[in-house]
Structure 1
Amino acid sequence: MKKNQQTKKRKKIVYDLICCKEYQPMRAKDLAVLLQVPAGKREELHEILDMLLKEGKITVNKRGKYEAVRGSKKEQEKEEKKGKRDKKEKKKKETQKYLIGIFAGHAKGFGFVELLDENGEDIYIPEEETGGAFHGDKVQVALKKENKPGKRREGRVIKILERGTREIVGTFQESAGFGFVVPDNQRFLRDIFIQKENFLGARNQDKVVVEIRDYGTRKRSPEGKIIQVLGNSEEKGIDVLSVAKSCGLPMEFPEKVLNQAERIRESLNEGDFYGRLDLRDVPMVTIDGEDAKDLDDAVSLSKEGNLFHLGVHIADVSNYVQYSSALDREALKRGTSVYLVDRVIPMLPKKLSNGICSLNAGEDRLALSCLMDIDEKGKVVSHGIAETVIHVNERMTYTDVKKILRKEDQQLAERYRELLPMFFQMEELSALLRKRRKKRGAIDFDFPESKIELDENGKPVRIYPYEQNVATRIIEDFMLAANETVAQEYAQAGIPFVYRTHDTPDMEKMEPVLELVHRAGVKVKKSKEEIRPKEVQKILKELEGKDSEDFFSRLILRSMKQARYTTECTGHFGLAARYYCHFTSPIRRYPDLQIHRIIKENLRGKMTEAKMSHYEEILDEVARQSSAMERRAEEAERETVKMKKAEYMESQIGETFEGVISGVTDWGLYVELPNTVEGLVHVNSLMDDYYVYDSAHYTLTGEKKKRSFAIGQKVKVRVAQADARERTVDFVLAD
C-alpha cells in the first residue's frame, strides 16, 4: 500500500514537470538529471514514464523526447485564459521596485539573483519565473509583495538586460544532418542545437566549446556554433580542461600581458633597495607545501624575555604590477589563482609568480613586511609596516617542520640546526595566538581537505584526507595576526581599503539548525537574538567526539553567510575579529595586491585627497569583482574534485568499505568513506522493506524490520556504481 502511494506521488511529480509551460521536451536521461534521480536507480524513472505513456498522459516525439499530450482546442483556450488571469494576479502581488542582479541557475530549474546594488540575501526565483534567463545573465527582477520579514525574498525575472554566457562547454552529440551540445555545467538546462555547417570537425562525444548565436524561446532550443574542439573526453586532462572552460576560467594570458611580464628584470640591483628597510641579515624562512612554486610569504621570529618579535614578510608584487597596466587589468579580471586537481591557473604569468615575485631561498627580494611585537598572552602590543628588502635562508615544507618539531627525523634536525630555536619559538607563539583567538570566540571548522593523487595519464590513483599539522597551524596563525594588524591600522586611520568580512548569520537560517543540534543532545542556548561566535564555538566543543560531529559542523557552516570582500570594515564573524583583511597573498589574490598599493602610498606620504577619492571610486568594484571570481574559482575546484572522486570510485565498483552516514534524505542515505568520498545508498536498495524518512531527526526507519539509520552511524557499503560525468557515486549496504 505504501509503495503504491510512493509510486503515485512520483508519477505526479514527473507529470507536473512535463506539463509545466516552461518545460522543454527532453529525453529520459535529461529528466533523470533534472529530477536528481541517482544514476543506479534510473530504471524507476523509466517505469514511471512507461505508466504515463500507457495512461495516454504523455507521448514521445520523433527525437525521443517526452511531451505532454495536448487536450482539445476548447481546453487549450481555457488554459490560456486561466494563464492570463494568473499572470495579472501575480503582477498585482508584486511591488513596483525593480532590482538588478546576476542570475545563478540551478540544476533543478529554479535560480537565485545576486543583487549588484545592495547587500543581503539573494532573491529566490522559482522555475516558472526565470523568464528564459541563463546562468550568469544580468537581469531585472521584481520582488513579490507577500515577502515576509525574515523569510527569503522571492521574485521573478522581468527582463534580461545582458547575456552573461556567450560560450558553453559540453559534449557533442551528432545526429543525421544536425547535432546537439549537451552542457557540462548542469546549471544550463537546455541542449544547444548545432547545424551541420557549424560542426567545426567535431566528432561524436567530443568535448567542445560552443558559441551561442540564438538563446531560443520556450518552444525552440538555443542554437550555436562550435568554436573550439577540446578533444575526446578520454584524452588526458580534457575532463579538467572542460570544467575550467565551463566555469569561464581563462586558460591563456593575452600576448600583451605576456610581453609586459617578459620585460620585467629577473634580478635586483642596489637602486631597487633605496628607501627600504634592509632585513637581509634577519634569519627567515618560507614554509609551504612540497609542490608550491609561488612563495609569497616568509616569516622571521626572535624572542627577548617574554616579548616575541614576529615578522611576516610578503612579496612586493605591486612593485612589478603597476595600476591599470595590462598585467593589472588581467589580474583584476582573474581575481585569484585557481588550484585544480591537475593544474594551477595563475592570476599572474609564471615569469612573475614563480620568478621575481616568489620569495625563493638564497635570493634578494622586495617585500612589504608587518613587524609585530607580541606579549606572553598573544597580544600584539606594537607593530610597524615597512617596505623592505629580504633574503630567505631556507625553503621549508610543512612536512619537514612538523618532523623537526615532533623530533621524528634526527637528520633533518641536524641539517637545520641553526634554525631549530626559531622553529620551537614559532610553535610556542602559535599556541599563544591560537589560545587568545579561541578565548575571544573564534570558530575553528577543522575539516580535512581531500588530496587526490593522479598518475601520468591524469587518472586518480589515491584519495586521502589531508589534515592540518603543527606547521600548517603556525603559518595560519602568523598570517591571521598580520591580516588583523594591517586591517586595524587602516580602518582606524579612515583610509579607503578592501576588507575581508563575514557577516553575522541570519537567525531564521540558524534557528532550525540549533533545534536539530538540541535534539541531538547538545546544550544550545536558543534565542532569536543574534548568535555570537563564542556560542557557536561552545556548540562545536560539545559536538566533539560524537558520531554526528562532522554532519552538524557542516550544517552549522552552511547556515552561515559567505565571507566576501567589502570596503566597509564590518568584522569577521567566524574569526570573532573586529578588523580583518587579506594582506598576505598578493601573487594569487587581487585584493591583497590592491591594498599593498594603498599601504605603499600611505607609507610614502602620498595619500592625498585626490588619491583618497581615486580609491573610494574604484574599490567597490575591486571588492565585487574579487568576491565573484573567488566564488567562480571555488566552483571549479569543487567540481574537479567531485569528478575525480567519482572517476576513482569507478575503479572500485564491487569493493566494500566501512563509512559513516553523513546525510539522510527521503531518497536514501549519504555515506562518507574515510578517504572523503561520499556516495548515496538509495532507499530502494534497502532490502524488501518500506522506509519512512523523519526530516526532524534525520533518520530513515523500516516499517517491517524496524531498522533505523541515523546521522553518524557506521555502516559497511559496497560500491554499486559511479559516474564521473555526473559526479555521482552509488553504494549499497554490505551488511
Structure 2
Amino acid sequence: MFIREEIQKFMDDEGYEPMTKEELVLHYDLPISEYRMFFDLLKSMERESIIIQTQKGKYLLTKNSSEYFTGIAQRNSGGFGFVSTENENGEDIYISKQNMKNVMHKDKVFGKHINNKSGNKPEGKILRVLERSKETIVGTFHKEKNYGIVIADDARAYFNIMIPKGKINGAKEEDKVVVEIERFFEGQKKPQGRIIQVIGNKNEMGTDILSIIYQHELPIEFPGAVLKEVQNIDQKVHPGSLKKRTDFSELFTVTMDGAEAKDFDDAISIEREGENIILYVHIADVSHYVKKNSPLDKEALLRGNSVYLLDRVLPMLPEALSNGICSLLPGKIRLTKTVKMTIDKGGKVIDAHFYESYIQSDYRLIYKDVSDFLEGKEAVFEDSILKDKIVLMQELFQYLYKNRVHRGAIDFDFPETEVIVNEKGEPIEIKQAERRIGNKLIEEFMLIANETVGAYYKKRNAPFIYRIHEKPSEEKAEDFLQILQLFGYHIDLQSLTPKEYQKIIKESKGKKEEKLIHTLLLKSLQKARYSSCPDIHFGLSTDSYCHFTSPIRRYADLFIHRVMHEDLMKNGNFSLRKDDKEISMIADHISRTEMKAELTERAVNDLKKAQYMNNHIGEEFTGIVSSLNNFGFFVEVDNTIEGLVHFKFLSDYYYFDENTWTIRGETNGKVISIGDEIRVRCINVNIEAREIDFNWIEEEKNE
C-alpha cells in the first residue's frame, strides 16, 4: 500500500521529471486493481497542496514549482504580509492586503506567484488556507446588544471574533478573554467563537502579563500528578545517596547570582596549581530527582525551559525542587555533577574530569558585591580566603576571555534594557541594564564548562543534544555587506568567519552607526538552536558546544546530565543510540519552546515600555536615530526606549535614500543619518500594539 511520504521522496529527487498519473502507475508497476486507490491518493495530496498538476497533467511537488508555493503567512497589522516558503533557498514572498484574503497570522497557505510591478522582489497571492495556525485567540471583550465582539490583542490577527450571546461565559466589558474559534470564514461570514477563559479585567493588576502568557500558550499551573510526585521527593539528602559520589564538600565553594535569585543551580570552586588554575563547576544534579518518563519529566519536557517575566517566573520544574533540594544553598549538602578543569595561562583546558559528586557551598555571592569589590568601590568582604578566591576568579576570567576572543568568538556585549515595576506592576523606571565584571565571571566559567562537556561527548560519539549556531546564509551575509559598505566597512564573504564579525564590532565601536551595525549584524546571523548532530557554534567560534549548566531551567541540560550519569555510573551503556529519533524530536521541541519563551519575554518588556511612555506623552527626549525605512525613522531615547518618527507628522516631504542610507527633506534639504542626535516629543502610544510614536521637534508641523 502506498504512503504519501514515498511519493514525496520520489518527486523530490533531483532526477525526477514531472509525470502524468498514467506514467506514475507505470513507474511503480502497479496492478490495475490498485489504480483507483493510487489516483485517490494523488487527488488527496493535490487538495492538500503537497503536489500540483501542470497544464499538461503532470505532477510535481508544490515546493519545487516555479508557479505555486506553500508556506507560513506572516500577517502585518496593516493587512499585508509575507509568506515564508518551504523552499530553503527562497526569499519571503510579499502579499498585498488585497491578496491576503482571509488569512490569519501564521496560517499555512497555498499561493501563486504574480508579477511584481514595483520591483524584482517576489510577490504572490493566496489561493487557499491549508491549515489554521491557532484555534484560540486572546483579546478584549466588548458587549453588543445581542452578542459580543473580541478584538484580538495581536493586531496581526486582523479580524475581530463574533461571540454569540450564549457563548459569552460571563465575560464583562473590557475583560481579557481566551476565545476558541469555532468558525473561521465561510463566504461572507466573519469568524465566530466561544469564550473558554476569562482572564480578568484589562485594568486589573497582572492581567496584562497574564494575557500575554495565554496568547503564547504557555503552561501556568502544574498538573496534579506532577505536584504529587514532587511532594514525595524528600527535601533532605540521605547518606545513602552519597555512597558512590565524589566528596567535594570540603572544597571552598561559592554560588554567584543576582540579588533576587532564588534557584542556585551552579556553584564554583577555584584553586591555583603551579602555573595553572583548577576550576570546578558544580551543577545541581536535577536528574537524580527527575526520573525519565515520570510525570515530572514529561511536564519538564513539555515546558522545555523556564520563562522569566517581570512579575513572575513560569518554572520548568516546581519550586519545591528548583528552590529546595536542588538549590545549592550555603551550608547545605547537595547532590551535584562536577566538571573539573585544569586551565593554563593561555585560557586552554589541558585536562578535564567529570564526577557525580556532592558539595556544601560556603557563600552565596551577589554579582553587585563581587563587582564592587573587584572595581575597588567597597570592602564588602571580610573573609581573606574569599577575597583571594575572587581575585583568582578574575585572573582566570581574563585568560579564558582573551583566548575566546583570540580564536574569533563574537563578543555580544550589547546593552540590554532593565524594566523596573512597582508593587502594582506599573513601570516606574526603564534603563540600560548593568553587566559588570561579576556577571561576566560566571558567564565565562559556564561557557568553558559547556564547551568542555560538549567536546568530550562529541569525541565519545554519545547520544547527545548540541547547541549549534550555523554560519550566516549567503543571502543574509550579502545584504549585511551591502549596508556595511555604505559606512566604509567590509567583510570577506568568501571566507566568512566569526573573526570577520568580531572585526566589524571592534571597528564600529563608538561610531555614530554602532547601534545600527550591531543590530544588522545580529539579524544577519542564524538563530542558535538545539540539534542531535554536532555542528559549529558560529558566535562562540567552536565546533562543539552544549548546554549543561542549568538543568533547573533548561531541559537540554537535564538530558545531558542523564547522558553523563550513564557514562559515569553505567560504564557508557547509553539507553539511547546516537541516531535515535527521540533525540532529534526533543532537540526540535525545546528549540521551539525556547523561541516561544523569548517572544513572550520580549512582548512583556515591550508592553511595559509602552505603558511607561503612555505616562510621558507630550514630553521631550534626547535620542539617537537608530534605524531608517521608507515611512520614517526610529529613535532610541536615553532610557533605551525606541519610537517611530513617521514622515506624515513632519513639515516637509521626507524620503529614504537607499543609496546613501539617509533620510532627506525634499524642500529644505535636511539630512538625517544613523547615529544623529535629535530632540523628539512623544506624541502617541498604542499600548495594545506596543507601539510608540515620536515627532522630530525641529520639523513638527504647525497645525
TM-score of the alignment, normalized to the shorter chain, above 0.5: yes
- State the shift of 1:636 in Å: 0.6
2:538 is the counterpart of 1:576: no
Distance 1:500 1:371 in 2: 21
Q: How does 1:270-285 map to 2 (within 5 A)?
A: 270-285=239-254
From 424, 431, 447, the counterpart of 1:457: 424
2:391 alignment partner AA: F
Q: How does 1:231-310 map to 2 (within 5 A)?
A: 231-310=200-279
Match of 1:209 in 2: 178
- State the shift of 1:262 in Å: 1.2
* DSSP 3-state at the match of 1:382: strand
Match of 1:41 in 2: none
1:110 alignment partner AA: G
Match of 1:704 in 2: 667
From 260, 271, 294, the counterpart of 1:325: 294
Distance 1:357 1:121 in 2: 47
* DSSP 3-state at the match of 1:613: coil
Match of 1:562 in 2: 527
2:390 is the counterpart of 1:423: yes
- State the shift of 1:653 in Å: 1.4
- State the shift of 1:613 in Å: 3.0
Distance 2:231 2:55 in 1: 59
2:671 alignment partner AA: S
From 135, 148, 165, the counterpart of 1:179: 148
Match of 1:30 in 2: none
2:618 is the counterpart of 1:654: yes
Match of 2:28 in 1: none
Match of 1:680 in 2: 644
Distance 1:621 1:730 in 2: 43
Match of 2:550 in 1: 585
From 415, 418, 438, the counterpart of 1:448: 415
Distance 1:266 1:114 in 2: 51
Match of 2:373 in 1: 404
Match of 2:381 in 1: 413
Q: Specify every segment of 5 or more residues in structure 1 that has no aligned partner in the other structure, as ranges.
A: 1-86
Identity rate of aligned residues, in percent? Answer: 39
From 569, 580, 594, the counterpart of 1:616: 580
**C-alpha distance 345-578 of structure 1, shift in aligned 2 (>3 A):** same
- State the shift of 1:418 in Å: 2.5
Question: Which has the higher mean CA deviation after the structures are superposed, 545-554 or 214-223?
Answer: 214-223
Distance 1:557 1:692 in 2: 26
**C-alpha distance 158-586 of structure 1, shift in aligned 2 (>3 A):** farther
Q: Deviations over 1:534-553 (max 9, x none)?
A: 01111111101101101111
- State the shift of 1:733 in Å: 2.1
From 593, 600, 603, the counterpart of 1:629: 593
1:634 alignment partner AA: E
Q: Deviations over 1:38-74 (max 9, x none)?
A: xxxxxxxxxxxxxxxxxxxxxxxxxxxxxxxxxxxxx
The answer to whether the Cα contact below 8 Å between 2:112 and 2:127 also exists between their aligned partners in 1 is: no
* DSSP 3-state at the match of 1:413: coil
**C-alpha distance 460-543 of structure 1, shift in aligned 2 (>3 A):** same
The answer to whether the Cα contact below 8 Å between 1:95 and 1:145 also exists between their aligned partners in 2 is: no
**C-alpha distance 612-457 of structure 1, shift in aligned 2 (>3 A):** closer
- State the shift of 1:228 in Å: 1.3
Q: How does 1:705-720 map to 2 (within 5 A)?
A: 705-720=668-683
Q: Specify every segment of 5 or more residues in structure 2 that has no aligned partner in the other structure, as ranges.
A: 1-51, 65-69, 699-703
Distance 2:200 2:106 in 1: 26
Distance 2:311 2:255 in 1: 24
- State the shift of 1:722 in Å: 1.7
* DSSP 3-state at the match of 2:576: helix
**C-alpha distance 153-370 of structure 1, shift in aligned 2 (>3 A):** farther
Q: How does 1:79-98 map to 2 (within 5 A)?
A: 95-97=60-62
Distance 1:619 1:319 in 2: 20
Distance 1:530 1:248 in 2: 42
2:654 is the counterpart of 1:691: yes
* DSSP 3-state at the match of 1:299: strand
Q: Deviations over 1:105-147 (max 9, x none)?
A: 55444355586xx98889657467878664455x58689799x
2:608 is the counterpart of 1:640: no
- State the shift of 1:642 in Å: 0.6
The answer to whether the Cα contact below 8 Å between 1:94 and 1:143 also exists between their aligned partners in 2 is: no
* DSSP 3-state at the match of 2:577: helix
The answer to whether the Cα contact below 8 Å between 2:147 and 2:164 also exists between their aligned partners in 1 is: yes
1:564 alignment partner AA: R
* DSSP 3-state at the match of 1:381: strand
* DSSP 3-state at the match of 1:258: helix
2:631 is the counterpart of 1:667: yes
The answer to whether the Cα contact below 8 Å between 2:492 and 2:500 also exists between their aligned partners in 1 is: no
From 336, 339, 351, the counterpart of 1:382: 351
Distance 2:56 2:646 in 1: 42
2:381 alignment partner AA: A
Match of 1:13 in 2: none
**C-alpha distance 134-278 of structure 1, shift in aligned 2 (>3 A):** farther
Distance 1:123 1:618 in 2: 31
The answer to whether the Cα contact below 8 Å between 1:132 and 1:218 also exists between their aligned partners in 2 is: no
1:286 alignment partner AA: T
The answer to whether the Cα contact below 8 Å between 1:373 and 1:382 also exists between their aligned partners in 2 is: yes
- State the shift of 1:216 in Å: 2.3
Distance 2:464 2:167 in 1: 48
Distance 2:126 2:327 in 1: 47
From 415, 422, 434, the counterpart of 1:467: 434
Distance 1:92 1:464 in 2: 63
- State the shift of 1:513 in Å: 1.7
Match of 1:47 in 2: none
- State the shift of 1:450 in Å: 1.0
2:154 is the counterpart of 1:191: no
Question: What TM-score results when the alignment is normalised by the length of structure 1?
Answer: 0.82
Q: Deviations over 1:598-649 (max 9, x none)?
A: 111111135437x233872311111010000011011111111011001001
Distance 1:403 1:362 in 2: 25
From 657, 679, 684, the counterpart of 1:721: 684
**C-alpha distance 594-554 of structure 1, shift in aligned 2 (>3 A):** same
Distance 1:130 1:269 in 2: 63
Distance 1:520 1:729 in 2: 28
- State the shift of 1:223 in Å: 1.3
Q: Deviations over 1:652-690 (max 9, x none)?
A: 112211110001122222100121100111213222x22
Question: Which has the higher mean CA deviation after the structures are superposed, 362-371 or 161-170?
Answer: 161-170
- State the shift of 1:243 in Å: 0.7
From 389, 401, 425, the counterpart of 1:434: 401
Distance 2:55 2:206 in 1: 48
2:462 is the counterpart of 1:495: yes
Q: How does 1:296-375 map to 2 (within 5 A)?
A: 296-375=265-344
Distance 2:121 2:666 in 1: 36
* DSSP 3-state at the match of 2:679: strand
Distance 2:293 2:91 in 1: 32
Name the count of aligned residue pairs: 637
1:576 alignment partner AA: S
Distance 1:656 1:270 in 2: 65
* DSSP 3-state at the match of 1:390: strand
1:712 alignment partner AA: G
